[in-house]
Amino acid sequence: MKTAGVFMVLTLVLLCCFSDVATEPLNQLQNVCRAYPEPAKGQNLVCPRVFRPVCGTNGVTYDNRCVLCQAKWQTGGTLSLQHEGACMRKTDCSKYQQTKGQRKIVCTRIYKPVCGTDGVTYSNECLLCEKILRGSNIRLAHQGQCKVKDDCGEYQRPQKGKHVGCAAIYRPVCGTNGITYSNKCNLCTARWKTGVNIGIKHEGRCNRKIN
């Protein structure tokens, strides 16, 4: 009888543990402060001096998770983690005139590139705002072209004699060999096919033919 009682207790403990593990991924943003429990009244958390910025649900950037949790306990425990990295400002598109009854903005052709949070370079901020107006959940990441990772690791290198199945997406990149490729995947295919270490010079077309 005693053995059965111990078995029941162990079973309940295991169920609780596995329950927490199962629900952790769904609540990981809200539960980041489990690692930094609320200190005693009048005390502060001892946080490391590590700069690993996180964005709180209040729109404030904190140096790291611990500092965010310190603010959470100081403000009554309602604050949580929005996302890793610094908070991004909401893009102000009110300065661009919209056409009546249409989700369209009249943009100039001035080339002043900006990078969106979707990783796409737009010729200017107005064109980014036009996409936002159409319902895309993106923001301005930074001024200038987006940085393209010069790495083909995201694509599976084909076996000898076979081809990579690249998507038919037109997002041109200019190779260091002066040739424009319709997208990064096609550039990587050319790198493997020729054996030449072709890199990405910049986003957009080169002044030569398209491959």
Rounded distance, CA 32 to CA 115, Å?
30
Residue-wise pLDDT tens digits, 14-40: 433 333 333 333 345 567 898 999 888
The fold of the 90-147 domain, in CATH, is: Wheat Germ Agglutinin (Isolectin 2); domain 1 (3.30.60)
Contact 132, 103 (CB under 8 A): no
How many whole angstroms from its chain centre is CA 41? 37
When the pLDDT of each residue in the chain is averaged and rounded to a whole number, the result is 77
The fold of the 25-87 domain, in CATH, is: Wheat Germ Agglutinin (Isolectin 2); domain 1 (3.30.60)
Residue-wise pLDDT tens digits, 129-159: 988 888 887 888 778 877 666 667 778 787 7
Pick the CATH number of 151-211 from 3.30.60.30, 3.40.50.1820, 3.40.50.300, 3.40.50.170: 3.30.60.30
* Tokens encoding 147: 């940085």
